[in-house]
Amino acid sequence: MFESSEQKNRTVEQIQTILNQTTPGLLPDDELRGFVETNFIKGRRFIHTIGGHRTPCYLFEPGMIIARAKAFKKAFQQYLPDIGFYFAMKSNNFPEVSKIILGCGFGLDVSSGSELKTALELGADDIVFSGPGKTLQELDIAITHNSKVVVLMDSFTEMKRLEKRAARHEKTVMTGIRLTTEPYGLWRKFGILLQDLKTFIQESKRYKHIKINGLQFHSSWNMGPERQIAFMQELGATLATLTSEEKEMINFIDIGGGYWPEQGEWLQPAGIPQGKQGESGNVKNTKSAGYPHYINSSVPIEIFARELSHAICEHIHSQVSCKICFEPGRWICNDSMHIILKVIDKKYNDLVITDGGTNAIGWERFETDYCPILNISRPAMTERECLITGSLCTPHDVWGYSYWGRDIQGGDLLMIPNQGAYTYSLRQHFIKAVPDVIAFP
């Protein structure tokens, strides 16, 4: 099917927007050094915890999950009276993470039948089931546990399939409607267009086994609240067109997650728009110690809470009185896991092989992303050039291009901090087994 002229124009506009993006700023040296120093202190304590455990491993801090969950709730509770919190399991599907966060008063946001089964096995009784293309088997699980699960319907056809399956089970399902925040591009796969909301609600009235109870939308990689606020403005205008009866059906609005941790996104030169083309390993050093490091800055969660709450009051609560829900994932779990590796082979002064491969994170993350690699066996506040790779039989098995320490030798333990989000969940048994998890009290 060919694109319309309007779609082509919009695509051109999107490309131009990307091209016009400013280069991320240089990562401030004091911010980087503060991060390294703090994690060296933590890393030295980890050495005593690891003991005889084999490397590589994920080092897990349960207390960090609790602290982050409490901080997230506190930030929003001071502004909004009726709110709910759901941890996005896909960001880290280590069961212990979800178990801990359930104890913090969170529900769970699941995106597959397997995640839903895990949530139920953990005893979760407040679950939102999102994601496109839910299979009949997945819908059946949700219907069977209809007292615990709200199904976020992703399309008109999914609503029809859900009604058919619910009728077969002779059960009524509590549902929400997912709205897409971007009508063009790849994010179109999620939810329905805002302009179709009224039609969707009207069609739902034909179905006896579906009860619409709210709405959901989500934008990802939010360094600040601007995109969420912009969509709430559009949503408020659409809500104003609904009848009183239709508004009364909306008992919750879930504004999703995508909150980036306050550390921001740290990048290699190859990760910025103007980065060198080709293999990032060929990027030459332009500083006396380490490569230039860049940052896409993010705002603290307190600013998200203040600005989003003001927008909710102005655009949402002016139209409907409803509960507001949040689905943080990365923000909660990012700092709770660290990867520990051992130098297994020092081939040259500027090249070492570790015993853990990037199958532990599931993708070639560190060709573009930057995270300081700390030699916790020989700590020093000096960054030294060295290609740090894993032991997989692929050249893309790269951890980084420098390390912090006074030297690096075989047997040294290396720490890559704050790898709790979208790493463990993406791990894969590729060539070598995935690492074990060791809990750090």
pLDDT digits (tens, 9 = 90+) for 62-73: 999 999 999 999
Q: CA dihedral in degrees (227, 239, 319, 154; nearest 10)? A: -70
Q: Long-range contacts made by residues 34-39, C-beta under 8 angstroms, separation at least 24?
A: 35/263, 35/372, 35/417, 36/372, 36/374, 36/381, 36/404, 37/381, 39/338, 39/372, 39/374, 39/415, 39/417, 39/418
Q: Average of pLDDT values for 25-47?
A: 94
Q: Average of pLDDT values for 83-107?
A: 98
Q: Average of pLDDT values for 312-322?
A: 97
- Number of Cα atoms under 13 Å in the Cβ half of residue 110: 29
Give the mean pLDDT of the chain: 91
Report the pLDDT value the prediction gives residue 289, as an integer from 0 to 100.
43
d(CA 82, CA 326): 11
pTM of the model: 0.91
- Where do the structural domains in the chain lie, given as residue ranges? 25-58+337-439, 63-334
Instruction: List helix spans (H) across 170-292.
Output: 197-204, 226-239, 244-248
Report the pLDDT value the prediction gives residue 46, as an integer from 0 to 100.
86
288, pLDDT greater than 60: no
Kindly indicate the confidence band of residue 148, based on its pLDDT and cuts at 50, 70 and 90.
very high
17, pLDDT greater than 90: no
Assign domain 63-334 to a CATH class.
Answer: alpha beta
d(CA 301, CA 59): 25
CB 350 within 8 A of CB 278: no
146, pLDDT greater than 50: yes
Cα angle 394, 286, 410; round to 5: 45
Report the pLDDT value the prediction gives residue 3, as an integer from 0 to 100.
43
Tokens of residue 164, six digits: 């058919």
25-58+337-439 and 63-334: identical CATH topology: no
Report the pLDDT value the prediction gives residue 275, as an integer from 0 to 100.
65
Report the pLDDT value the prediction gives residue 432, as an integer from 0 to 100.
94
Q: What pLDDT, in 10s, does the model give residues 211-265? A: 999 999 999 999 999 999 999 999 999 999 999 999 999 999 999 999 999 999 9
Which secondary structure element, helix H or strand E, spans residue 127, and what is its range?
strand 127-129
Close Cβ partners of 145 (under 8 Å, ≥ 6 residues apart): 120, 127
Kindly indicate the confidence band of residue 19, based on its pLDDT and cuts at 50, 70 and 90.
very low
Architecture of domain 25-58+337-439: Beta Barrel (2.40)
CB 76 within 8 A of CB 84: no
d(CA 43, CA 378): 11
